[in-house]
Amino acid sequence: MSVNTWLRFTGRRCEEISFDKKKFKKNFTAFTLTVNKGQLDFEMQHLKAKLKKRDTKKWNEIRLTTQFEPHPLFTVVPGNVEPWEKV
């Protein structure tokens, strides 16, 4: 099921390339993964820090952004940064 879910969203985003949607099931139950709000916040700050050093033009575009919309595979839940993350 997880491959089909990924392919469904990939297929939607790859309209401009040759992508054969017939190669995956159409009738399946999509699943989501949970992600902690704290982890998303951490990832956003981490991305901003990298962009500030590597791509100031892009950093200037997003520096005032306070929240990103996660990929549809993710369901955001309350919580902190994951314990496996090197903070």
DSSP assignment of 55-76: -HHHHHHHTT---PPPPTTEEE
- Residue-range definition of the domain harbouring residue 70: 33-87
Domain total in the chain: 2
| Contact (Cβ atoms closer than 8 angstroms) between residue 73 and residue 33 | yes
Specify whether 17 is located in the same domain as 46: no
Which residue would you say has higher pLDDT here, 2 or 58? 58
Q: Are residues 72 and 38 in the same domain?
A: yes
Both 63 and 42 in a single domain?
yes
- Say what the pTM is: 0.65
Residues 38, 18, single domain; the answer is no
pLDDT of 2-21, one tens digit each? Answer: 677 777 777 766 666 666 77
Query: Domain check: are 24 and 46 in the same one?
Result: no
The pLDDT assigned to 17 comes to 64
Give yes or no: residues 14 and 45 share one domain: no
